[in-house]
Structure 1
């Protein structure tokens, strides 16, 4: 590796005082998603300290940055070299122009599975994982002799990275849209009308306890041992399915034998977790959306509510109970030290506000549409990530 570089050096090992005006002193944490990310919270050092660091060498636009302490192997191409430097957690790699055509190829090479695997093997595990510059110098790399081939390979990987970045931004924007909708489309604690409202709806939301609008409550599986799981013609909804999804997914189930003593889960039932490692995650809820057919039960660490359909729409309710306003009311009810629990009684006593049924349906439909868009964009991101991994395996030896 070292023979292909004109510069291989790590960032400063020194200690410096922070200043308000000066040069940025960055670290490995600033190398994010193939870019150098600087925020107002990052450190600055004095101009005199900066000049001492770079007395004998200067960073250049196009230098490849590689994280070598902590999370090993993240990389980026330096786009702007003015008044910034790095701590020792970042290495500087500058391609030898007689061997490597560009920083783009070197950057693409740093993403390959061969390069990353060699870094992993040479990483020293101590208080913080790290890799020595001397070990980076010894990495075995294979470079096409034809510079045209290097350029083509780099162009493909850089293009894929650009598409991935765009896809990640699309996904993040949709998640932010959903977060904003959840904050504004439901009423706050002391309000009877939300900030954001659909046309033709103007009546006050009415308050109920969760128990008032529940036709039935039931517990999860009981009387089971480990030998009862993994086989049978029935199924049960897993804890993670409830924990992770506002609308439980049909493939988040596992096999179990049919048992007439267990409570069946029906379409529209609300499901709640009753235990978690952190209080902010107790009583996370989900709604079961599958039609009746195979006998379906609930795992033993959750319980279910069957809402009265003439009062409330279950899909509206699952989004409402996951809104920031409701989560702030729920998680203080958790009790415990190393693991936190919440009683069914506490959940049923929760006061909720609901609009008329047609407005409930409008609300859940728009939120579900955003969720479908998020899923679609996440799937596209996964496919692109898989494609990039395949190309990195095939284009580099």
Structure 2
């Protein structure tokens, strides 16, 4: 194959050499692993970290759900991989949306759904190459991921033919690799802050809401002394089964601007221009969309329509109750439907919840909302940094 030479849109100062474009397989060797026989106790709970696809999420990985022994390595086809060797997921449902890639910080073993990428790291900088692959994620998802009967997988022959960029000047590779490494560290730091905020919220909820069968919480706002009273969820909420609406566009514009909601992960299925039957949720009277399939709920504060028989719209029975407080009460209900039941909503009367006076509800609701607003700001900060990284990935690579 004749090599092509190009330059990216954006360069660091002092670098002017052309970039070479070559096939993936000319620089990278793929090796896979395996799962040791699970019924052999001599293979498990050793001191070797064994990774499966579920552990390949963040840029760096240092531990897994399971550990294995040296005997498992000797007797099986699982492989040991040196620290600093990039790992990709080659078979998983996550490949429908993402192309997971991680760098282990310790020596690890891998299973059959992971491939390790081996190359001469004295000629190809690891962080540079990882960013290179990340810059091609959209192409990989569209052209190289194939859909099987159960899960998605990487078409390895196509991956081997993927055109990658190689910079002959190793110092430029290091410069670009270090830049993206710093961005990744910033993202990881902000994500840790987000997790700490979520943990803080969980802790506060345990303190400001009573435990099961209790009548007062551990922490209260001043001047509140009365016991909370127990009512059923059906006393707290009323619900309706919405009609189904037709999606007329998958994109928002001036003609199609009313979201059509559905069950499942997509939630917003598309948009429509139909105004009949619109549910207008405002800050004074928001709504909860309740998903009967997954027993999950979404707090909605915008106009919407619904296209799903599995969704219900919840509103308060008594407007004196605080909606934000009630929403967090609902999310505390711990119930798993049996046999994929679609009728959890009919069990409302079976669940009792403790509520205080409307005034105390207002204080608790406002307090939780402050925390949630902080969470939203942190999530937005992370999104902006990730979007910034995506922009640089497109400009700093071919």
Please confirm whether the aligned pair reaches a TM-score higher than 0.5, indicating the same fold.
yes
Does 2:293 align with 1:277? yes
Would you say the 8 A contact 1:270–1:305 is kept in 2? no
Q: Distance in 2 between matches of 1:156 and 1:318?
A: 42
Aligned residue pairs, count: 356
Report the aligned-residue RMSD.
Answer: 4.6
Q: Distance in 2 between matches of 1:213 and 1:21?
A: 51
Which residue is 2:60 aligned to? 35
Which of 342, 348, 351 is equivalent to 1:339? 342
Structure 2: tracts of 5 or more residues without a match: 1-23
Q: Distance in 2 between matches of 1:225 and 1:12?
A: 48
Would you say the 8 A contact 1:264–1:298 is kept in 2? no
Deviations 1:115-162 (A, max 9, x none): 662475344544554446655443321222222221111112111111
Q: Distance in 1 between matches of 2:239 and 2:112?
A: 57
SS at match of 2:130: helix
Q: Distance in 1 between matches of 2:290 and 2:77?
A: 57
Structure 1 pair 319/111, CA: closer, same or farther in 2 (3 Å)?
A: same
> What is the deviation of 1:377?
1.1
Which residue is 2:221 aligned to? 198
Q: Distance in 2 between matches of 1:180 and 1:237?
A: 34
Structure 1 pair 199/258, CA: closer, same or farther in 2 (3 Å)?
A: same
Which residue is 1:307 aligned to? 318
Structure 1 pair 92/196, CA: closer, same or farther in 2 (3 Å)?
A: same
Q: Distance in 1 between matches of 2:281 and 2:138?
A: 47
Does 2:205 align with 1:182? yes
Does 2:295 align with 1:317? no
Structure 1 pair 21/187, CA: closer, same or farther in 2 (3 Å)?
A: same
Which residue is 1:160 aligned to? 183
> What is the deviation of 1:166?
1.4
Which residue is 1:388 aligned to? 389
Which of 47, 51, 55 is equivalent to 1:26? 51
Structure 1 pair 29/272, CA: closer, same or farther in 2 (3 Å)?
A: closer
> What is the deviation of 1:91?
2.2
Q: Distance in 1 between matches of 2:340 and 2:128?
A: 52
Q: Distance in 1 between matches of 2:75 and 2:378?
A: 47
Structure 1 pair 257/370, CA: closer, same or farther in 2 (3 Å)?
A: same
Q: Distance in 2 between matches of 1:380 and 1:392?
A: 19
1:100-119 correspondence runs (5 A) = 100=124, 102-113=125-136, 117-118=139-140
Q: Distance in 2 between matches of 1:12 and 1:264?
A: 53
Would you say the 8 A contact 1:287–1:315 is kept in 2? no
Greater gyration radius: 1
Structure 1: tracts of 5 or more residues without a match: 246-251, 291-295
1:75-86 correspondence runs (5 A) = 75-81=101-107, 84-86=108-110
> What is the deviation of 1:375?
0.9
Deviations 1:162-204 (A, max 9, x none): 1111122222222222233333321234211112333443332
Would you say the 8 A contact 2:49–2:109 is kept in 1? yes
